[in-house]
Amino acid sequence: MATLLDKTQQSNRSSPKWITHIVVPLFNLFVALMIAGIVIYFNGDDPIEALLLLIKGAFGNDEFIGFTLYYTTNFIFTGLAVSIAFHCGLFNIGGEGQAYIGGLGVGLVAIYLGHLSPFFVIPLCILAAVIFGASWALIPAYLQAKRGSHIVITTIMFNFLAAAVMTYLMVEVLIEPGQQAPQSREFNNNSWLPFMHEIFNFFGIQISVSSLNFSFIIAIISSLLIWLFIWRTHWGYEIRTTGANQKAAIYAGISPSKNIILAMVISGGLAGMVGINEIIGVHHRLILDFPAGFGFVGIAVALMGRNHPLGIFFAALLFGALYQGGAELSFDIPNITRDTMVFIQGLVILFSGAMEFVFKPYIENIYFFIKNNLLRS
């Protein structure tokens, strides 16, 4: 009497972790790509070829891999940022603005102190990214914790404020004198983070030039630290308690407002670190619009990565590959424009984020069907 495709069976049943953490996400990704493929087909191109070009464009050679990992770096930062707020039950939509202001902090240090020793100025830049990003998250956090203003609304508003502040500063204050373009002068190269190809070169290994820089390593270290913080310290425990059950937190003497502020400050600091990758990692000057939507994609990355640093790494890698592979794909098939890529990313977000659990019960039913019927009979 057990029906194979019956949604009502979803509750009260635990399927093994590998189903939820590996099979379901992969299946969601597969469905998203299938639909994208159908659209590409009707658009007059060969979807298989497009997929192969996409993969090749993302991982085909060391240069492509470099760019993929460069994008991945940004997504790790913003994904971690969204996830830590999420652990506290907060939806931080403000990664974009926090990244922007984080970059401002990096830029200010690099502009005014860039002539000092790299061993001094680079750590200072990183610190500035964290402090500036964190302070941009602090105000919405305070308003949420003490005044109950909804964090989603305030962080969105702060994205606009960040853009306005940056445009003003770039146009009026930090613009390179005698220049039309609203960007700062190029920093002293003491403040430049080494590129990966330079680091490899130092050890005598030749790899292709790409935007990948030392920030990637910072991102990996941050992931590890965040993992330890969230799951292994009592601060992380208190943040998670606040997020999972605020009543229980109050019962246990854990102050929700304190933890809301703490989680948001860390979240903002992580988002601010996008500024490291972009400003002293690649552009070596302050420019407009460098967050380019990375903060928003971070939401999808965190969702897909189930707010776990390891999951976030893989989700960030996926989106990095979509960005880089997608760019290469547009080169090879001009018919597939950047809008097509946005569409494909949207599908991935839709199926692995918003529609996360649509297929899960079916997959579980198939699993239990196989298990119950083939293993027991």
Partner 1 sequence: MRIFLTTITAAISFFTLISIANSADHKFVPALVFDMGGKFDKSFNQAAYEGAEKFKKDSGINYKEFEVTAPTQREQAIRNMAKRGANVVIAMGFAQAAAVEKAAKEFPNTKFAIIDMVVDLPNVRSVVFREHEGSFLVGMAAAMASKSGKVGFIGGMDIPLIRNFAAGYVEGAKYANPNIEVFQNMTGTTPAAWNNPGKGAELAKSQFGRGADVVYAAAGGTGVGVYQAAVDEGKLAIGVDSNQNYLHPGTMLTSMLKRVDVAVYNAMKDAKDGNWSSGIISLGVAENGVGWALDQYNRKLISAEMEEKINQARKDIISGKIKVKGYQSN
Partner 2 sequence: MINPATANSKNIILELKNIDKWFGHVHANQDVSIQIENSTIHGIIGENGAGKSTLMSIVYGYYQADKGSIFVNGKEVFISSPVQALNYGIGMVHQHFKLVEPFTVLENIILGAETGTILENSLQSARKELKRLEDDYSLNVNPDSVVGELPVGIRQRVEILKALYRGANIFILDEPTGVLTPQEVDHLFKILKSLKKQGKTIILITHKLREIMDLTDNVTVMRQGRVINNKPTKKTNKEELAELMVGRSVLLSVNKKDKKIGRKILSVNNLSIIDEKNIEKVKNISFDIHEGEIIGIAGVAGNGQTELLETLTGIRRINDGTIKFHNKTFDNSNPINAKEIRKNGLAHVPEDRQRMGLVTSFSANESGILGYQDLNIYKGKIFLKKYAILKDMYDKFKRFDVRPANPILKTSSFSGGNQQKIVLVREMDQEPELLIVGQPTRGVDIGAIEFIHKQLIELRNKGKAILLVSVELDEVLSLSDKILVMFDGKIVGKINQKDADEKTLGLLMAGAK
Q: Which stretch binds partner 2 (CB under 8 A): 4-12, 170-178, 188-196, 297-305?
A: 4-12
Residue 17 beta carbon to partner 2: minimum distance, rounded to whole angstroms:
11
DSSP class of residue 193 equals P
Within 201-230, which residues bind partner 2 (CB under 8 A)?
228
3-state secondary structure 240-290: HHHHHCHHHHHHCCCCHHHHHHHHHHHHHHHHHCHHHHHHHHHHCCCCCCC
Q: Binding mask 233-252 vs partner 2 (x if CB under 8 A, - otherwise)? A: xx--xx-xx--xx-xx-xxx
Neighbours of 245 (CB within 10 A): 13
Helix (H/G/I), strand (E/B), else coil: 165: helix
Helix (H/G/I), strand (E/B), else coil: 298: helix
**Interaction between residue 179 and partner 2 (CB under 8 A):** no
Tell me how far apart the alpha carbons of residues 239 and 212 are, in angstroms, rounded to a whole number.
Answer: 33
Nearest of 269, 261, 241, 266 to residue 253 by alpha carbon: 241
Alpha helices (H) in 88-182, listed in sequence order? 95-113, 118-142, 151-168
Within 339-368, which residues bind partner 1 (CB under 8 A)?
341-342
Give the one entry of partner 1, partner 2, none that residue 247 binds, where binding means its C-beta sits below a cut-off of 5 to 8 angstroms depending on kind: partner 2
Tell me how far apart the alpha carbons of residues 361 and 333 are, in angstroms, rounded to a whole number.
Answer: 38
Give the one entry of partner 2, partner 1, none that residue 248 binds, where binding means its C-beta sits below a cut-off of 5 to 8 angstroms depending on kind: partner 2
Residue 252 beta carbon to partner 2: minimum distance, rounded to whole angstroms:
4
Q: Which long-range contacts (CB under 8 A, 24 or more apart) does 38-41 make?
A: 39/340, 39/343, 40/336, 40/340
Q: Binding mask 122-161 vs partner 1 (x if CB under 8 A, - otherwise)? A: --------------------------------------x-
Question: Based on the number of CB atoms within 10 Å of its own CB, is 13 exposed (0-12), middle (13-18) or buried (19 or more)?
Answer: exposed
Give the one entry of partner 1, partner 2, none that residue 189 binds, where binding means its C-beta sits below a cut-off of 5 to 8 angstroms depending on kind: none
Tell me how far apart the alpha carbons of residues 226 and 159 are, in angstroms, rounded to a whole number.
Answer: 24
Within 251-290, which residues bind partner 2 (CB under 8 A)?
251-254
**Interaction between residue 285 and partner 1 (CB under 8 A):** yes
User: Measured in whole angstroms, how far is the alpha carbon of residue 118 from the centre of its chain?
Assistant: 27
Please give the torsion angle defined by the CA atoms of residues 266, 22, 215 and 55, in that order, rounded to the nearest 10 degrees: -140
Q: Which is nearer to partner 2, 114 or 305 (CB)?
A: 305
Q: Which two tokens stand for residue 252?
A: 């246990």
b/e 279-312 (16+ beta carbons within 10 angstroms → b): bbbbbbbbbeebbeebbbbbbbbbbbbbbbbebb
Give the one entry of partner 2, partner 1, none that residue 160 binds, where binding means its C-beta sits below a cut-off of 5 to 8 angstroms depending on kind: partner 1
Helix (H/G/I), strand (E/B), else coil: 322: helix
**Interaction between residue 206 and partner 1 (CB under 8 A):** no
**Interaction between residue 189 and partner 1 (CB under 8 A):** no
Q: Are 178 and 305 contacting, i.e. CB atoms less than 8 angstroms apart?
A: no
Q: Which of 65, 122, 131, 166 binds partner 1 (CB under 8 A)?
A: 166
Q: Binding mask 59-78 vs partner 1 (x if CB under 8 A, - otherwise)? A: --------x--x--------
Q: Which of 29, 35, 327, 350 binds partner 1 (CB under 8 A)?
A: 327
Q: Which is nearer to partner 2, 146 or 232 (CB)?
A: 232
Q: Which is nearer to partner 1, 144 or 324 (CB)?
A: 324
Residue 3 beta carbon to partner 2: minimum distance, rounded to whole angstroms:
6
Give the one entry of partner 1, partner 2, none that residue 241 binds, where binding means its C-beta sits below a cut-off of 5 to 8 angstroms depending on kind: partner 2
Binding site for partner 1 (CB under 8 A): 67, 70, 160, 163-164, 166-168, 171, 175, 178-183, 186, 211, 278, 282-283, 285, 287-290, 292-294, 323, 327-328, 330-331, 334, 337-338, 341-342
| Contact set with partner 2 (CB under 8 A) | 1-3, 6, 8-9, 12-15, 228, 232-234, 237-238, 240-241, 244-245, 247-248, 250-254, 368, 372
